[in-house]
Amino acid sequence: MTAPPTLAARLAARLPDRLVAAAARAVYPRFEPELARIGDLLPPGCVTAVDVGGWYGPWTQRLSGRVRRVVTVEPVPYLARLLADTTPPNVRVIQAAAADRPGTARLWLPADDGGQRGVSSLVRRDIHGRAVPVRCVALDDLGLKEVGFVKIDVDGSELAVLRGATALLARDRPSLFVELETRIQPVSPVVTYLRLLGYEGWVLPADRWVPLSSFPLETHQEGTAHVVNEGLLRRVLPFRHRPRYVNSVLFLPDGRRPGGHRVRDDGLHVLGFHTRR
């Protein structure tokens, strides 16, 4: 059964694209507080960051102010064009889907969605009703240099993206920020693959990073799955308190650890409890 469009998606369809993009970038740290902790994610002296699945560009925009260059890979044509027109000069936008090999594939979207909901994927799910052909690229084939950080939000094809970046991971050892959701795909293949490459996961369920090995991600997501259906707009309202749905993992190589600063005012309202400041 196809889920109805969220309130945010319905509003986005009625507003100018540039206004929607600006609004999404402004509120996104409330939805994903890790974005406000970007200093914990980037290694010292990070030169190049890669944003796989750029959507309206909240990560691209924030990264562009912290590193020398950003490469954003976005398969939805109109989103890629919007990013190219609205992001700073140090951002290179590639209209393609990241995969394990070059070629073409079908990108699946909901029947009534042009990409606004951010749920397009190479892996078809029950929410998808139509497909558009897209070019596929492997990160290893893009000639990227001095990569310190890679963010991956691809709704189900994470392992293919990582396999297409194996040489890059072995050479540059970047930090990885990967969205993983058990309702879409099992998370263990990604965790196992990265562990073989010397990476360990960290999550931010509250205001401290904890090892993924000690956090029951699958159980947590099952217990908070109802939050996902509320959509972006309702989840960022400051006067509504709900449990946080953790769906992103920071993977660091070679025993590295994330920073230890508190979240403070950039995401606590989406948690189900408060912490002392």
Q: What is the pLDDT of residues 207-225, one digit of tens each?
A: 899 999 999 999 999 998 8
What is the rounded (10 degree) CA torsion for 45, 85, 100, 184?
Answer: 100
Residue 199: predicted pLDDT = 98
For the entire predicted model, the pTM comes to: 0.83
Residue 235: predicted pLDDT = 53
Beta bridge partners of 252: 200
* 27 within a domain of the structure (yes/no): yes
* 56 within a domain of the structure (yes/no): yes
Question: Which domain CATH number covers 43?
Answer: 3.40.50.150
* 275 within a domain of the structure (yes/no): no
Burial group, residue 218, by CB count within 10 angstroms (0-12, 13-18, 19+): middle
Residue 239: predicted pLDDT = 47
CA dist 92 and 69 (Å) reads: 8
* 140 within a domain of the structure (yes/no): yes
Residue 30 CA from chain centroid, whole number: 14
DSSP output for 162-214: HHTTHHHHHHH--EEEEE--TTTS-SHHHHHHHHHTTEEEEE-SSSS-EEGGG
Residue 216: predicted pLDDT = 94
CA dist 191 and 159 (Å) reads: 9
Residue 120 identity: S
Count of all residues that appear for the chain in the document? 277
pLDDT digits (tens, 9 = 90+) for 102-123: 999 999 888 877 777 778 888 8
* 224 within a domain of the structure (yes/no): yes
* 260 within a domain of the structure (yes/no): yes
Work out the number of other CB atoms within 10 angstroms of the CB of residue 96.
20
pLDDT digits (tens, 9 = 90+) for 226-266: 877 665 555 555 545 567 889 999 999 999 999 744 434 34
CA dist 114 and 69 (Å) reads: 28
Category of 254 on φ-ψ map: left (φ > 0), alpha (ψ -120 to 50) or beta: left
Residues of the chain predicted below pLDDT 50: 1-3, 7, 239, 260-277
List the domain range (segments joined by +) for residue 237: 7-270
* 277 within a domain of the structure (yes/no): no
Residue 277: predicted pLDDT = 29
* 51 within a domain of the structure (yes/no): yes
The backbone torsions φ and ψ at residue 53, rounded to the nearest 5 degrees and listed phi first, read 90, 70
If one counts the domains in the chain, the total is 1
DSSP output for 213-253: GGS-HHHHHHHTHHHHTTHHHHHT-TT--------EEEEEE
